[in-house]
Every structure is written in C-alpha cells, then in structure tokens.
Amino acid sequence: MTRLRPLAWVAVSGIVVLTAGGVMATHLLGDPERGLTAAKGAGDAHCRDVTRKAPSVLAGKERRSVGLEGVVVWGAQDVILRCGVNSPLATEDPCFEADGVDWVIDLRQSTPERKVIVTFGRTPATQVAVLTRAVRTDEAIVGLSHLVAGTPVSGRCLDTQ
C-alpha cells in the first residue's frame, strides 16, 4: 500500500479546497437571489400583480427566477425590482416622471455604479436598482412604469400647480 508523504497530502488537500471554493463561488455569483431580501410589504396584492406582469426581457436582459416574494431580477442583477418598500416622504432627491409615474432617485442608496430609484406617492412603493454599466436607467424605468401605474396614488413629487 502506497502512503502519501505529508507534502503530497498537503498539496492534494489544497487542490480539493480550491476546487470546492471555485465551485461555491461560481454558484454564488450565478445566484440571482444573492444578497437580496424581500421588502416588508412584498405580500401586498399590488406587488403580486407587479411581479406577475413583469416582462421576461427588460432593457435587453432576461428575467431570472428568484424565490423572493415581490422581487424580480433581470440579468446578473443588472436590474432589481423590489415591490413593497416604504414610499419616500418629501425629499430633496431628484424626482422625475415616466409614463405618469413619479420616481425619486434615492441618492443615499445610489452609487456611481448602481442607481436606486423609488416610486413616489404610491403605496406600496416599488424600488428599482439599475447597474448603470449594464443597462440605461431611463430604458429600465420606462419599461417598468406601466407595471406600477395601477398602484394607488397618494401624492406627487412633481406638482403641476
């Protein structure tokens, strides 16, 4: 019977550990749920409607299955929609309208790489995070505004008075 020398045993063990780590990293990086959580109000009927009607392709990115209520992901988290978040209150963050829906750019949560935008004056609110190097933010928001248009309106950030 051949016995492995201590140095050979260490080398074989190292290869096994590296291979297992590589497989785990590949699995985790390919997991569309990685780092995501459902919002507190994700079980709302409007959120179920929003996620059910979400398009299979958005801004050229394929929809990926996630097991989180009120959450839809396109691409490798290039666009993440979370329904059921709290609606922002009066804010100095930039506000804009797309297809009749008011949206606010959440400057506290946004980074140069990812813009976080939330519907304003709708309960439940919907948050969209867009990876800016992969998707044009305006294209994603225009593609999603019709989904949230049916959510009850309680206020506007762009007052037309």
* Both structure tokens of 30: 């390919």
User: Of 123, 127, 128, nearest to 151 (Cα)?
Assistant: 123
144's enclosing H/E stretch is: helix 137-148
| Cβ pair 24, 16 in contact under 8 A | no
Interatomic CA distance for residues 81 and 38, integer angstroms:
10
Residue 99 contacts residue 142 (beta carbons within 8 Å): yes
Q: Is the pTM of this model over 0.85?
A: no
Q: CA-to-CA distance for 120 and 128, rounded, in angstroms?
A: 12
pLDDT in tens, 54-101: 999 999 999 998 999 999 999 999 999 999 999 998 899 999 999 999
Distance CA 64, CA 151 (A): 24
Rounded-to-integer distance, Cα 43 and Cα 100, Å: 24
| Sign of the four-CA dihedral 68, 70, 71, 72 | positive
> Which uninterrupted H or E stretch holds 20?
helix 6-30
Each residue's pLDDT, cut to its tens digit, for the chain (161 residues) gives: 556 565 544 444 434 333 333 333 333 345 657 789 999 999 999 999 999 999 999 999 999 989 999 999 999 999 999 999 999 988 999 999 999 999 999 999 999 999 999 999 999 999 999 999 999 999 999 999 999 999 999 999 876 43
Which amino acid is present at 20? A
